[in-house]
Amino acid sequence: MKTRIAIIGDRFMRVEEYRKAILEACGDVLEFSVHELPWPDEPMEHGYAKAGIEGLKEYQGTAELVVEVARFSRVLVTQLAPLSASVFEALPELELVAVSRGGPVNVDLNAAAANGVTVVNTPGRNSSAVAEFTIGAILAETRLITRGHDALRKGVYRGDLYRSDVIGNELADLTVGVVGYGTVGVLVVGLLKAFGGRILVSDPFASLTPDDAGNPSISLVSLDKLLASSDVVTLHARVTRDTAGMMDASAFAAMKPGAVFVNTARGPLVDYEALTEALRNGPLGGAMLDTFSVEPVPPDSPLLELPNVTLAPHIAGASYRTILTAARGAAREISLWLAGKPPSNVYKAN
């Protein structure tokens, strides 16, 4: 009898990419029940600004939809489908959930455990994409790329961007502070080394890799020292009870005058009202933001009007490599489970 696997994909993590990866990893011993969600053409529910389904974060779809698609399935693979306590209670045959993202915030992990369901994830699926994007984000601000672009779009040729009191500086002559030294943070440091500048790292739970520790241009420092010493601060921490809102008014006030702030991590790490004030009245000289406290960004957000901000719609991780890495990672976890072996990336509640 073939194992039934439910796939709830979307228009980024396509059903066919999941199916192809699973068949390659597991063989033709499966049958599928599938559904495609309309994300990113339609926004997901974030569950930060307002309560989501039974406390879930960053999901799309309904509990009823999940139950309908996954009924009689032993395995469910998804990126965004909401898996709440009521979903697990309604799916007694479900044994494994593979979430093709780093943090399965769309899953009630306690309810999964209570119902005997193993949850696996794909850590680092978009790490290289985010790290690469971060370098572009830093350059967009430090070299005034966005300022020139915005002006030319309006028919203004800003020759003044060549003035000595306006121009930016090269990364070789700047200090970049990397907050968070997980998978993405380590990759960002690796890319920054090619530019030849000074790099400060702050992460209370990490030590520098042997290669970075042996580099005289890289130092592991306290967050206070990093903020006070960096020309650019780029954020790569996870959202936890301790890190939520870590970049607040006091943190921005501690930064160097004219410094640049970059967030390609998560919106809840930042107090955006404090950030707006720091961009309007100092000390910040500019910011590049890919994530926000509310997404999509409200049309009346002052961040949309500030001239010293570069904005992107949460696309740092959007690369085709991310899709392949995530699909293959989920498929690998499923193949281990089907073979009676322990999955390598079991995700449990804290």
Neighbours of 195 (CB within 10 A): 16
First vs last C-alpha separation in the chain: 36
The catalytic site residues sit at 266, 295, 314
- DSSP 8-class letter at 263: E
Task: Identify which of 225, 222, 268, 221 has the alpha carbon closest to the alpha carbon of residue 248.
Answer: 268
Assign 73 to helix, strand or coil.
coil
Task: Identify which of 301, 306, 224 has the alpha carbon closest to the alpha carbon of residue 267.
Answer: 301
How far is the CA of 200 from the CAs of 67, 177, 268, 280, in angstroms? 48, 5, 23, 26
Helix, strand, coil in percent for the chain, rounding step 5: 35, 15, 45
